[in-house]
Structure 1
Amino acid sequence: MLAAMSTAARRSSPQATGVPRVRADACPGSLRLHAADDGTLARIRVPGGVLTVRQAEALGEAAERLGDGELHLTSRGNVQLRGLRGECGGELTQLLDTAGLSPSPAHERVRNIVASPLSGVDGRGVREVRPWLTDLDAALCASETAQALSGRFLFALDDGRGDVAGLGADVTVRATEDDSAQLALGTGPEALRLSAEDAARGSLLAAETFVEAVQASGTHAWRVDELSCQRGELLQMVSHRLRAEGIAHGRRTRDTAHADGPLIGAVGNGLSVHVPLGRLSALRWRELTRVAVGELRLTPWSGVVLPATRADADEPLARLAAVGLVTDPGSPWLRVGACIGRPGCAKSRADVQSDATAALGTVGPNDLPLYWSGCERRCGRPRGDRIDVVAAPAGGYRLSTAVRGQHPRTADLDDPSRLPAALAAITS
């Protein structure tokens, strides 16, 4: 049985432009580690979320040998290792190098690429985006200019179904029915139409143009929507750059139709599962690598797609469900997410993951997705309609609706067990 994950409906929303940054980006990576309350943290970029089984096994080994034993999925389909020993940086680097997970140390923080996880698996996309992914990652790692991108800059490669096109990436390429592609910047309303063969190269040129615009402005803008110039100006600059490189293109209104993320259950010859709160224990990860054939694809929606499995669909699904992965399309976990919270984050006011788990049984099948946060930063929150559940300074939580076209409605929650009443107060 299949069902779309409701938390996957991450629609684009307008973002403030020209936000001043007073410092350079300090986003963690696999070489630039971050000191957290639960130990050192490493963020490992996995372009397109694609891991060979051997690479997945290497990440599992790193988590068990060097960290807290878990792999933590991010909202960009990357992996975080937490609880690392402070002196393990060299060992981690060697392990990642051996597995082919760090092809260019100078670019390891900028390889942020999401791609339609079911591309080539379920037959729904306009075209297979794997060639784009391979070409873009290679071009990115070969570009000296791209080294200056922030660790938050994001590329999205959409196979035409509209799943990752709604993630608010800085450079989005979307396949179209006429064997061409739309290249869009940030959340701007316009796009450039170019041939599918030029999509990956055009994406890199757009990113390099952004870097040059940031350097010319003398600011520390990390994302396209933060740049002080208007989006139309940046798109025009990209157009000039494409023309200079001999890439034919035209200006178009951007396609804004979006779709849900991967379905849950058997898909094509593979499987798609959801990971509660994005946390993969060593047991769950080992079971995934044992079931998978060839590769695993991590999704931006706390999920894992296995394009092919070692047996018929029923047995692997049962095995994965037995270790706590979500294979039921009716599970409330598909509508619940949370930041790391206490004890991992010093800024968090609450153990939000425990509270979200305790309140899981009160989440109804028609409720808006809930995202629990330990503070107002709301790290990792999804895009799209949702209810934010934010830990309050004096204790308890503050609920607020985030629904496109509607003013926020709020309610206080002093006890997670009373969540249904609080939800009713702001949604009825």
Structure 2
Amino acid sequence: MPSRDAKPGALLNRASPPPVLSNAITTPRPSACPGLLRIVPALDGGICRIKLPGGVLSATQAHAIADASTRYANGVAELTNRANLQLRGVHRAHEAALSEALIHAGLGPDSALSSADDVRNVMISPAAGRDPYALIDTTPLCAELLALLQSDARFAALSPKFALLLDGGERLARVDHPHDVWLAASPDEGGVRFVFGLAGCPASAHLNANANTGGPRDANGTGALAAVPPSRVPALVRALLLTFLDLAAADATRMRDLLATHCADALLRHAQRYVDFPLARDASLGHWQRHIPADASLRLGAHAQRGDGTSHVGGQPPLGRIDAATLRGLAHLADKHGNGMLHATPWQSVLLPDIATQAVAAVLAKLTALGLACDPAQAITHVIACAGSAGCAKGQADTKTDALQLAERLPPGVDVHLTGCPRSCAAAHCAPYTLLAAAPGLYDLYRRDGRPGFGQCVAPQLTIDEAAALLARLARSTPHA
């Protein structure tokens, strides 16, 4: 296994790619998702999404993003709920120049296939290789999967939304996002194996209120199907992706769409033709659960890393938005006190790994001075919001402004999602509470209860002050909601 001292960004670009299929299909599925090369227009200008391998970017790349965002966009980078970055407000006629600048900084796909940018969707823990509770370092496997996705031309036909989760068993892990294929490390007599399932999330034996893992699982997911050793993960993933492309209709974008027409056992039987090891449902995994609770609060503040006396230090910019000056400040901190790398997290926060003990206090102070929240008790770390009417034509309210107002009144520990329309672009999971915009300044309040969508509508047409007051009452009556 590679040394943990190797820089993660470099490691994630070193895997040797498999051969490209001679009968590769390269027609992409239609998509309106933004990418590095496909800048999508919005109310406030173009949107450019930068996919970060394993959520990692170097300090040098952070400076390049800051420069490009100032020159070609609105000067703000937004952290996404898949541990990527996006730039909004891209100026008209500057799209190609922006993409070129980002590619020059090494932020494009590691492939000659331009369409490979769309499929670079592998999520791992932002503390992969460092989390003391991890069963395995998923960084090398992530590199192999990214190489697989980028080098097989047929995978260009996958939707940009099609995504993989590689869970190493860390406590700092986002395991409540539904993925098309998920793999979760599990203890085994021989060491570690990866349990896998389709269209959903790894089941968790323990629920942590801070982790937001208590929500309903994707109703169209399979649960745990079987398990393979780490060495077989790339071959398994390749087989499952080819099975999707073989069987899914042209307008099917996600694994749940395929599961609506084919049972999981049929998919495994089809995938068997692509691997030389047995692939069938393991009945003993019917009640499998993740071995340890995830805790999203570990993304904030300082926490010891595995073994060497260093810590990772994290902070959350308000609503995941980082202006160019702040991004440059974070890059400087990573160079001065860390390993020169920044880790984006799927909670729209930033992690600086490998911070020496004597530097932790200074890094925390600097993060606070840069405007990042470093304490999970701060309400702003419990609020997420989409672009809203300021940036999206579908938005019914200015969710960003309203979210900042709500955070000033929100009771401790209450997680809230503000969305300008039912599409729920800012959250891939179901939050405990959702405020769905009904009109400027007015929201319908939903509480997660296991039913599809946002859950139960608790009250309609609330102002932000009314919503804050009602959330406080609900939190008192259901403290672990």
Inter-partner Cα distance in structure 1 for 2:451 and 2:390: 36
Give identity over the alignment, percent. Answer: 31
Aligned match of 1:183 in 196, 213, 220? Answer: 196
Distance 2:324 2:103 in 1: 21
Q: Which residue of 2 aligns with 1:19?
A: none
Change (3 A) 1:384 1:141: same
Once the two structures are TM-superposed, the CA of residue 404 in structure 1 deviates from its matched residue by 3.2
**Matches of 2:316 and 2:237 in 1, distance apart?**
30
Higher relative contact order (CA 8 A, sep 6+): 1
Give the ranges of 4+ consecutive aligned residues of structure 1 lying more than 6 Å apart after TM superposition: none
Structure 1 residue 424 displacement after superposition? 5.0
Say whether residues 1:404 and 2:450 are aligned partners.
yes
Q: Distance in 1 between matches of 2:342 and 2:294?
A: 22
Farther off after superposition, 255-264 or 45-54: 255-264
Determine the structure 1 residue equivalent to 2:157: 148
Q: Which of these residues, 438, 441, 464, is aligned with residue 416 of structure 1?
A: 464
Deviation at 1:355, TM superposition (A): 0.9
Q: Which residue is 1:81 aligned to?
A: 87
Match of 1:374 among 420, 436, 441: 420
Partner of 1:3: none
Conservation of the 8 A alpha-carbon contact between 1:275 and 1:326: yes
CA distance in 2, matches of 1:234, 1:395: 49
Quote the Cα distance in structure 2 between the aligned partners of 1:356 and 1:231.
Answer: 41
How far apart in 1 are the matches of 2:364 and 2:439?
A: 42
Q: Please give the alpha-carbon distance, in whole angstroms, between the structure 1 residues aligned to 2:366 and 2:77.
A: 19
Residue 261 of structure 2 aligns with which residue? 229
CA-to-aligned-CA distance 1:115-148 (integer Å, 9 cap, x gap)? 0111222321100010011111111111111100
2:62 aligned with 1:56: yes
Tell me, yes or no, if the aligned pair for 1:27 and 1:151 is still in contact at 8 Å: yes
Q: Residue by residue, what CA displacement relative to the aligned partner does 1:87-137 show, whole Å, maximum 9, x if unpaired? A: 223222322222221123121111111101112223211000100111111
Q: After the TM superposition, which residues 4-403 of structure 1 pair with which residues of structure 2 at under 5 Å, given as runs?
A: 24-102=30-108, 103-104=110-111, 105-161=114-170, 163-178=173-188, 179-187=192-200, 188-214=222-248, 218-227=249-258, 228-233=260-265, 235-237=267-269, 239-241=271-273, 244-249=274-279, 251-252=281-282, 253=285, 255-257=288-290, 259-261=294-296, 262-267=298-303, 268=305, 269=310, 270-292=312-334, 293-309=339-355, 312-367=359-414, 369-393=415-439, 396-403=442-449
CA distance in 1, matches of 2:138, 2:126: 9
When residues 391 and 409 of structure 1 are mapped into structure 2, their CA distance, relative to the original with a 3 A threshold, is closer
Question: Given the superposition, is the C-alpha separation of residues 238 and 190 from structure 1 closer, same or farther in structure 2, using an over 3 Å criterion?
Answer: farther
Paired amino acid for 1:371: H
The one-character-per-residue Cα deviations of 1:286-314 (angstroms, maximum 9, x if unpaired) are 11111112311111111111112476111
AA aligned opposite 2:418: W
Amino acid at match of 2:254: R
Q: Counterpart of 1:392 in 2: which secondary structure?
A: strand
TM-score for both structures, normalised by structure 1:
0.87
TM-score (norm 2): 0.78
Structure 2 residue matching 1:285: 3-state secondary structure: helix
- What's the secondary structure of 1:359's corresponding residue? helix
2:209 equivalent in structure 1 = none
Q: How much does 1:65 deviate?
A: 1.5
What SS does the corresponding residue of 2:92 show, helix, strand or coil? coil
Q: How many residue pairs end up in the alignment?
A: 400
Local SS of the residue matching 1:347 = coil
1:323, distance to aligned residue in structure 2 (A): 1.2
Alpha-carbon offset, residue 238 of structure 1: 5.4
Q: Is the 8 A contact 2:410 2:472 kept in 1?
A: no
Report the RMSD for the aligned CA atoms in angstroms. Answer: 2.2
Cα deviations by residue, 1:389-411 (Å, 9 ceiling, x for unpaired)? 01114861111111337961421
Deviations 1:307-340 (A, max 9, x none): 1247611101100111111112211112111001
Structure 1 residue ranges without an equivalent (≥5): 1-22
